[in-house]
Structure 1
Amino acid sequence: MDTNRIKRFATEARNILKAGIAAKITTLGFNKKGNVAEEHRPQLMQGGTLWNGQFYTEGFYHQWMSLYNRIQQKGINEVYEEAAYTWFNRLCAIRILQKNNLCSPVLQYADAARTPIIVDEARQGHLPQMKEDIRQRIVELLDDDTKVTEQFALLITAWCHDNPILNQCFGSMADYTELLLPNDILAKGKFMDMLNHTEFITDEEFQSPELIGWLYQFYISERKDEVFAKKGKFEADEIPAATQIFTPNWIVKYMVQNTVGRIYLDNNPYETTLQKKWRYLVNQTEKPTPENLLKYNELTDLKVADLACGSGHILNECFDLFYDLYIAEGYGRGEAIENIFRHNLTGIDLDNRAKQLATFALLLKACQKDSSFADAHCLPNILTMPKPWNEETDENLNDFLSLYFQGENTSSQNEELAACFELMHNADSLGSIMKFDISDSTRLLVKQTTDYWCNQEIMPDAVRLQLPAFELILALTEKYDALVMNPPYMGGGNMNEVLSKYVKANYEEGKGDLFSTFMLLAIDRLADNGKYSMINMQSWMFLSSFEKLRTSLLKNYHIENMLHLGPRTFDELSGEVVQNTSFVVAKNKSDEGGVYFRLVDGKNCAEKKDMFLQALQEHTAKVYYPNVPQSNFEKIPGCPIGYWVSPNILKIFTSNLALSAVCSPTQGLATADNARFLRSWFEVSRSRIGFGFENAASAARSRLKWFPYNKGGDVRRWYGLSLSENIIDWYNDGEILKSFKPAVIRNPGYYFTDGITFPRIGSNLFYARILQPGFIFDCNGPSCFPQEKKEYILGFLNSKVMQQLLFILCPTLSFQIGDSFKVPYIGKNNDYINHCVQQNINISKQDWDNHETSWDFETNPLLAVNENTYIDNIRHEEKLHEKETDKHICINPAAPQLGSLKWRMEQYKTK
């Protein structure tokens, strides 16, 4: 599937539709802010509506007022988005149905004038089913050939309401939506023209349910960019766009086959035909023990869910696998599909648009297997957030509960359910992470009563409106045998107040990100011995902020297998730059080791896939890591998921003290206003800068204002760089800065002390430099102050050994002090190493002082090149030749070219 083409189509279509709808709203009397002058408002009169000097039907007045009220409620920009997406959704869905031979080609053009077939047929007297008042409006409009767009809007709206799939998946359109069909919708190069003559989407791609997910992701990609550009907290209506990302298909297959497929094989160990079909199934090294085996009786008992289902990609893959299972067990096609929809699959998403698309995708897949499902008589179980109960407009909740349960409910059950309804007021922010605290007896009552109402053809309006709330309560209190998800990614800092408060109160170990919250949710919703699989960010595997989550997982559950994907996992068009992991966790304890695949070096998603498949077959070294005990991770401080760590490295961790035991890691101050308190040294008179003071007292007595300031810096070992560029206002022992309330002064006892420093942000390498006496340091230049063996410790910090050990603890670009000093310290008293370190410091200092940014700079090194430099270089070349060949040569020097800049540069480089 060429996602480049699909992205171009979706983004262009969105912009074209939004522009057309904006223009249409203007023609209806609204300005850019959604306001309407009094003279542009319609007037309801006997027999119709007067607007802009013309007479319209009475229905126009009600549609216009509905649009006006929606704009006042949501704002005009939200109405643009809403209407554009509604038309994009419906028209693309019709085109997909047409390409799958599930409806007539109503959108195609009947003539060169770009008249849609649905309009052409209506002119011949063939109208879709519709209400009589709408039929009369259409008949009146059909007499005027200049009103093709108005005719098309009414006809296609009626057609959508009459088509079972469209109606069941997307519901009825808001009454004002047909007013907002752009006037240019049928014009050349506009949306209908793109849809009918598109080269963006092939016929084969129209057959794929994946197309719906890609269209959804790319359609909202610009909206996603807008949400992230504003920064700060995400409001409830921004969460869907901010957290939507489409999972690569092969990773979905891996997750589904190693959860649902593995559970089936555990119960049917002699099945081989299907097993051969599952290319991404990871072979178990040992058979599960009886106590760790999830058993089920019938295939209909196997319950699977995606609690953040998006447009249904994962559910589609689950459908395919279940369908194969049912056919293998002798079920007919129709029976298999009905069982999947009614018993096996559940999807939940807080975005109603995603719920609609997931329903459509699954129903399309069902129709591709059995066309009898085109009447939508059986729908998949996809849920979204219900409309919250409002006692101001709805009846008393207790009275409604008595109606719903027909008097069978108790007061205590009413209290439990009232708490559920209260929680659902925040459902648009919380989604599936809501915890409904109800007893087993209450849940049974809800289940039996909801099943009863669902089988009734006639029910009270109040019951019909609240059925989705009870279905959601049941879905979020179910125990599932398998959960498969790509959960939303959202750091705690982006959570709005409602979401942040709820996560901290109910998912404390996973509060760092919404994806880690879903890891805890998955365990909570799994049956004993069930399995969940996710693709999420790899940060939970290593960062200290997820240590409690890791410790709990390793202590209580079993990682069966993992694809450590690293960067470049998602299609580059998604814009995602996160580093990922996908894994399967069983809800049991096991002594069996896990199987890990290290795919971090794959340059793109396709290469990672090939690496995985090759490792499955050939057990490729440095990619395939079988039988890794979870107890290994507990031997490393912070319990990182260091599956690739060798026994020798593990021994280093268990046999040595941590680095923090031999030196003091410290963070420095934060000014909170660098522009006020910091300068570059060359901005201030040298006589006002205090160099080389070895303690705070002598610095204060000097009455100088500015002192050297260590602010971290770029990659450089041993000595120099930003270390020597900045100065800070520390007059009278920092009197002014200390009185500045936003500033944070940390560890002042170490100021002006000589030590070792390293930057907080790395670039795939850890590096350390000497911290000379006389410096104050900040939070981006954390430091340590060894009491002895300073040269040795600096050498250790800059060694490859340190790099490898630290990478296990923190394989990211940010080196926190806590992570860095958990590294085991391999201490030796080695004079040769100390000598080498001091040599490196001297060489680095000499190099640094050759730059004009150093305050010890004396002269440009090119100007320092002279005849002696030339002779030294020649003698060096003679010695090097003799060392390499055992033969002595004598080089006669040519005349030095002191006037040539090129010659000076060559001599300097040689030196």
Structure 2
Amino acid sequence: MQPLEKTLRSRLEKTVKEARDVAESAALAALNQLGVGQAKPDGHFSEEEKALRRRLRVHGRQLGDRRDPKGEQEISRLIEEVAYEHWHRMLFARFLAENNLLMYPDPDDPVAITLEECEDLAADEGAANGWELAARYAARMLPQIFRLDSPVFQLTLPPEHQQKLEHLVTDLPLEVFTASDSLGWVYQFWQAKKKDEVNKSEVKIGARELPAVTQLFTEPYMVSFLLDNALGAWWAARRLTEADLKNASSEEELRNKASLPGVPLEYLRFVQIEDDAGDTQWQPAAGAFDAWPEQLGDLKTLDPCCGSGHFLVAAFLMLVPMRMELEGLSAHEAVDAVLRENLHGLEIDQRCVELAAFALALTAWKYPNLPSPSGRGVGGEGAIGYRPLPELNLACSGLSVSVAKEEWKQLGLGKKNLTIALDWM
């Protein structure tokens, strides 16, 4: 896949920024309609509306909105949550649909479905519209991302705002949804306004502000350079023979010999060294990483600030063909093995964790099912397609403990030292 072209990136940036303004205005209007910030519900509310209002207030407090002694409650964090979830539900559904990965949940034979077909089926399936139905189908595929049990999805946005959001997402060109780095840009653009506000305010950076001001998208060439000269150098040191390293006439010759289809190692650098006898030999400029495991199944990679998963996806696209080549695995087997054993990510922003999971799943389902150079693996062209994936090793490291102290201490199971440690924490 190719990175997003600059003019399309600018168009995506403009669309996402506009979408955040529209979505937050819609969220404010919908929450005010239910009186979520008020101390008491209006008398004309139905029991269903009162129940939804209570759930939204509880959810807001879980997000950090404060309730004062009189019962009135902030809704600023809840507004952000509603806006984000409703917009990204539509955006992610189109990502899946444009890659033929939005699946109609036939128990025997799931089949790809378009957004237009979702609109046609919505009424029969009991959904308000095609976007809601698309999100319902997507939730079956990635339940950790599309949390339809959240009360924010029971909230209906005003029609005029909903229509604006629909137009914004449908007007984006197809190329946006097939580029390799679009997901990363999507969240950076979403956070851009918040980042500017925080920087201009000169307030002390706290937990709420940190994700916005620390988001920094790494350009594809930077990711490739770092991985080529780490994982790629490890691979080259084991794939190239001593004769290759002694007799090669250029770095390009060594890169060509070390590369695999889909893993060109174009940024891998070599240097020439001279031994005691005065003979020269090439070696990877970054070294051979001799302390790393000899078997790729034992290699653990961790991105401690994984963001939207850009490094993880790039490492995945290198490791899968490497494991197919070294271990004789099929594409299916290699994809599962890499997700299960090799890739790990941490991130302080829960939304980034969800984006990283979405990006990895999308890449895994789209992975080309091609044979390895040695002839091993499954032959034939095309993508693997949708199927259940191993549990992804991704976690949010920025969540606060939100239980009562005594409940937290019970995790000590009566063991004195552990209980004391939990009490201190």
- Superposition TM-score tier, normalisation by shorter sequence: 0.7 to 0.9
Offset at residue 120 of structure 1 (A): 3.4
Q: Is the 8 A contact 1:209 1:316 kept in 2?
A: no
Please point out which of 206, 226, 230 is paired with 1:259: 230
**Which residue of structure 2 aligns with residue 225 of structure 1?**
196
Cα distance between partner residues in 2 of 1:393 and 1:182 = 43
**Which residue of structure 2 aligns with residue 280 of structure 1?**
267
Indicate yes or no: 2:392 matched with 1:380: yes
Cα distance between partner residues in 1 of 2:53 and 2:29 = 15
Please point out which of 177, 191, 194 is paired with 2:168: 194
Offset at residue 173 of structure 1 (A): 4.6
Q: Is the 8 A contact 2:90 2:135 kept in 1?
A: no
Structure-2 change in CA distance of 1:314 and 1:157 (3 Å): closer
Structure-2 change in CA distance of 1:177 and 1:295 (3 Å): closer
Q: Deviations over 1:49-80 (max 9, x none)?
A: x61xxxx4x54332111123344651322111
1:374 aligned counterpart, secondary structure: coil
Q: Is the 8 A contact 2:93 2:134 kept in 1?
A: no
Cα distance between partner residues in 1 of 2:48 and 2:102 = 29
**Which residue of structure 1 aligns with residue 314 of structure 2?**
317
Please point out which of 14, 23, 27 is paired with 1:21: 27
Cα distance between partner residues in 1 of 2:186 and 2:287 = 45
TM-score w.r.t. length of structure 1: 0.37
Q: Is the 8 A contact 2:121 2:130 kept in 1?
A: no
Offset at residue 333 of structure 1 (A): 0.5
**Which residue of structure 2 aligns with residue 336 of structure 1?**
334
**Which residue of structure 1 aligns with residue 10 of structure 2?**
4
Structure-2 change in CA distance of 1:94 and 1:26 (3 Å): same
Indicate yes or no: 2:58 matched with 1:69: yes
Q: Deviations over 1:375-425 (max 9, x none)?
A: 43313311112552634463643455x8xxxxxxx766x379x46x965xx
Offset at residue 269 of structure 1 (A): 2.9
Cα distance between partner residues in 1 of 2:194 and 2:347 = 18
Cα distance between partner residues in 2 of 1:290 and 1:184 = 59
Q: Deviations over 1:452-504 (max 9, x none)?
A: xxxxxxxxxxxxxxxxxxxxxxxxxxxxxxxxxxxxxxxxxxxxxxxxxxxxx
1:277 aligned counterpart, secondary structure: coil
Q: Deviations over 1:594-643 (max 9, x none)?
A: xxxxxxxxxxxxxxxxxxxxxxxxxxxxxxxxxxxxxxxxxxxxxxxxxx
Letter in 1 for 2:24: K
Matches within 5 A, 1:143-154: none
2:302 aligned counterpart, secondary structure: strand
Cα distance between partner residues in 2 of 1:155 and 1:98 = 12
Cα distance between partner residues in 2 of 1:273 and 1:103 = 37
Matches within 5 A, 1:50-61: 51=45, 56=46, 58-61=47-50
Structure-2 change in CA distance of 1:388 and 1:278 (3 Å): same
* Ranges in structure 2 where 5+ consecutive residues have no aligned partner: 66-73, 104-111, 242-253, 274-282, 370-382
1:284 aligned counterpart, secondary structure: strand
Indicate yes or no: 2:189 matched with 1:213: no
Please point out which of 302, 307, 316 is paired with 1:305: 302
TM-score w.r.t. length of structure 2: 0.75
Offset at residue 225 of structure 1 (A): 0.6
Matches within 5 A, 1:55-204: 56=46, 58-71=47-60, 73-74=64-65, 75-103=74-102, 108=115, 117-123=117-123, 125=124, 127=125, 155=133, 158-161=136-139, 163-165=140-142, 167-187=143-163, 190-196=164-170, 198=171, 200=172, 202-204=173-175
Segments of 4+ in structure 1 off by > 6 A? Answer: 288-292
Letter in 2 for 1:12: E
Matches within 5 A, 1:662-677: none
Q: Is the 8 A contact 1:66 1:176 kept in 2?
A: no
2:90 aligned counterpart, secondary structure: helix
Q: Deviations over 1:250-302 (max 9, x none)?
A: 01100111111112222333382417811111113344899972242311111
1:168 aligned counterpart, secondary structure: coil
Offset at residue 326 of structure 1 (A): 1.7
Structure-2 change in CA distance of 1:23 and 1:305 (3 Å): same
Offset at residue 342 of structure 1 (A): 1.2
Structure-2 change in CA distance of 1:372 and 1:223 (3 Å): same
Supply the RMSD in Å over aligned alpha carbons. 3.1
Q: Is the 8 A contact 2:119 2:130 kept in 1?
A: yes
Structure-2 change in CA distance of 1:91 and 1:391 (3 Å): same
Cα distance between partner residues in 1 of 2:324 and 2:409 = 49
Cα distance between partner residues in 1 of 2:234 and 2:416 = 41
Offset at residue 172 of structure 1 (A): 4.0
Indicate yes or no: 2:215 matched with 1:244: yes
Cα distance between partner residues in 2 of 1:235 and 1:248 = 27
Identity among equivalent positions (%) equals 24
Cα distance between partner residues in 1 of 2:130 and 2:411 = 47
Cα distance between partner residues in 1 of 2:38 and 2:176 = 43
Indicate yes or no: 2:354 matched with 1:356: yes
Matches within 5 A, 1:561-600: none
Q: Deviations over 1:812-857 (max 9, x none)?
A: xxxxxxxxxxxxxxxxxxxxxxxxxxxxxxxxxxxxxxxxxxxxxx
Cα distance between partner residues in 2 of 1:262 and 1:397 = 48
Q: Is the 8 A contact 1:310 1:358 kept in 2?
A: yes
2:345 aligned counterpart, secondary structure: strand
2:86 aligned counterpart, secondary structure: helix
Letter in 2 for 1:232: V
Structure-2 change in CA distance of 1:283 and 1:159 (3 Å): same
Letter in 2 for 1:174: S
Structure-2 change in CA distance of 1:388 and 1:319 (3 Å): same
**Which residue of structure 2 aligns with residue 530 of structure 1?**
none
Q: Is the 8 A contact 2:101 2:385 kept in 1?
A: no
Offset at residue 100 of structure 1 (A): 0.4
Letter in 1 for 2:272: T
Structure-2 change in CA distance of 1:398 and 1:382 (3 Å): closer
Structure-2 change in CA distance of 1:157 and 1:314 (3 Å): closer
**Which residue of structure 1 aligns with residue 410 of structure 2?**
397
**Which residue of structure 1 aligns with residue 246 of structure 2?**
none
Cα distance between partner residues in 2 of 1:41 and 1:155 = 31
Cα distance between partner residues in 2 of 1:389 and 1:99 = 39
Cα distance between partner residues in 1 of 2:207 and 2:239 = 44
Q: Is the 8 A contact 2:239 2:258 kept in 1?
A: no
Q: Deviations over 1:71-123 (max 9, x none)?
A: 465132211111111112221111000000011587745xxxxxxx5353243
**Which residue of structure 2 aligns with residue 45 of structure 1?**
none
Cα distance between partner residues in 1 of 2:84 and 2:192 = 13
Letter in 2 for 1:315: L
Offset at residue 244 of structure 1 (A): 0.2
2:154 aligned counterpart, secondary structure: helix
Offset at residue 151 of structure 1 (A): 5.6
Cα distance between partner residues in 1 of 2:333 and 2:288 = 33
Q: Deviations over 1:750-792 (max 9, x none)?
A: xxxxxxxxxxxxxxxxxxxxxxxxxxxxxxxxxxxxxxxxxxx
Cα distance between partner residues in 2 of 1:159 and 1:331 = 31
Letter in 1 for 2:410: L
Q: Is the 8 A contact 1:164 1:376 kept in 2?
A: yes
Please point out which of 22, 35, 39 is paired with 2:38: 35
Higher RCO, Cα 8 Å, sep 6+: 2
Letter in 2 for 1:184: E
Letter in 2 for 1:279: E
Q: Is the 8 A contact 1:308 1:347 kept in 2?
A: yes
Cα distance between partner residues in 2 of 1:158 and 1:293 = 48
Matches within 5 A, 1:379-778: 379-385=391-397, 386=399, 388=401, 390-392=403-405, 394=407, 396-400=409-413, 414=418, 418=421
Q: Is the 8 A contact 2:409 2:419 kept in 1?
A: no
Structure-2 change in CA distance of 1:170 and 1:283 (3 Å): farther
